[in-house]
Amino acid sequence: MNHNDLRNWSKRTADWAHEYHRDLRDRPVRAQTKPGATAAKLPKAAPEAPESPEQIFADFEAIVPDAMTHWQHPRFFAYFPSNAAPASQWAEQLANTISAMCMLWQTSPAATEIEQVMVAWMRQALGLPENFTGTIHDSATTATFSAVLTMRDRISDWESVHTGITHGPTMRIYASAHTHSSVDKAVRMAGIGQDNLVKVPTTDDYGMDPVALVSMIEEDKRAGFAPSGLVLCTGGTSIGACDPIAACLEVAEEYDLYTHVDAAWAGNAMICREFRHLWWGVERADSVVMNPYKGLGAQFDGALQFLRDPAPQIRSLGLRPDYLQTLGEDDTTNFNEWTVPLGRRFRALKLWFVLRAYGLEALRGMIRNHVAWTAELCTAIRALPGFEITSEPSLALFSFRYAPAGAKDLNALNADLLRRINDDGRIYLTQTMHEGKFVIRFTAGTFDCTREDVMSVLDVLSELSRKA
């Protein structure tokens, strides 16, 4: 295949993409296949000779679409959304065509400077203070890992960068029970260890208890541990729990803890002023992460980490060997020094296109609709015979379960109901464990979702629960 072929097949692909999105509502949301079925359709070894683009594309059409879960489906209500707005798809085509490594300013000046401007645009849109700067990682997991590495090194005044963490007292990182599993992964990868991630109890509203936080820090200090960092959440993955950011950051300041706020999903809603009470006090955090692909349409990958002062993180992650010097330009920003990988994609381009193609006011309207439709659906499910709400709406997320009178094993009953819902294909939901109960999560957020799509959940629940 050469560039002339690519021109023709790119046009064919664009037509296919249009038809795919046009007819997406007609497809089952979740892949209707079994493990191993797709692999069985592929040859056991790569071809020795070139194959024609016609055959390659025909195999794609025959094998791939029906074996995919369709994350852009307007009735995808599982996990959190991972949106790809048309403007974002357009930008990704261009970024993929240029295919630059955006590790240094000199390797991609436009990519570096557009990223700086996009961080500033988003900082303003979210209402964060002017002193915040930041970068775009691949995912929130990497942003959280970067923050935890900074916590690790800061407590040793960065001696650990050179000597490792074999010296000094055992570090402790504090997080609420509703933080994402990426926090657990981060403390493992940082060498701090799972046993030194302290999960702080929550209050009745499922946010971290600041009083319990103080008690646990004091207990650790008496035991000879070194309190090193605090990870808070706004919009936890399970039920959308929000920690009391301001109160917990006061504690962190008192004990000199480096702080990170995971707002990967809920951070998108903060472009709407009326939702910012959910992370009140966030301007006092050292690090904040949000994922524009979970609500604004700038597709994965791309997680925005805002830093009140980037110097500590650069001190932990920055490395500039001779072959990465930009001669004569010592003051340039090289974003590879702010994160873990050296190689970086041109992620800022899609954010630039999305913000310009739709504008903040339209994006605010979309988020407000998702929140309002979610509340409406929650009210309707509450009135549905045999159903109960297990956690109230947090923005566009709530949980529920089927609990008809006389039913005994509700966990098994709801697991079976969820399986039948997803096998049915009209909608896609996922589960979580909440207070020891198997519950079903609902979250709205796909770019093309409508009120009718959201309310279709009611019809599916009503029909399939009667067959339980």
Task: Quickly list DSSP for 302-367.
Answer: -EEEEES-SHHHHHHH----GGG--TT-TT---GGGGSS-S----THHHHHHHHHHHHHHHHHHHH
Lowest mean pLDDT among 10-19, 321-330, 453-462: 321-330
Q: What is the pLDDT of residues 265-283, one digit of tens each?
A: 999 999 999 999 999 999 9
Model confidence band, residue 67 (pLDDT cutoffs 50, 70, 90):
very high
Q: What is the DSSP letter of 79?
A: S
Residue by residue, DSSP assigns 137-158 as: ES-HHHHHHHHHHHHHHHTTTT
| Cβ proximity of 268 and 292 under 8 Å | yes
Q: What is the pLDDT of residue 325?
A: 64
First to last CA, the chain: 53
Q: Is the pLDDT of residue 194 over 60?
A: yes
> Within the chain, what is the greatest distance between any pair of CA atoms?
77
Question: Whose CA is closest to 288, among 321, 257, 263?
Answer: 263
Average pLDDT over residues 76-90: 95
Q: Is the pLDDT of residue 465 over 70?
A: yes
Q: What is the pLDDT of residue 323?
A: 57
Percent of residues, the chain, with pLDDT higher than 90: 90
Q: What is the DSSP letter of 284?
A: G
Q: How far apart are CA 109 and CA 411, in angstroms?
A: 54
Q: What is the pLDDT of residue 82?
A: 94
Model confidence band, residue 232 (pLDDT cutoffs 50, 70, 90):
very high
Q: What is the pLDDT of residue 104?
A: 86
Average pLDDT over residues 438-452: 96
**419: Cβ contacts below 8 Å, ≥ 6 apart:** none
Domains with residue ranges and CATH for the chain: 17-80+360-468 (3.90.1150.170), 101-345 (3.40.640.10)
Q: How far apart are CA 242 and CA 413, in angstroms?
A: 29
Q: What is the pLDDT of residues 355-391, one digit of tens each?
A: 999 999 999 999 999 999 999 999 999 999 999 999 9
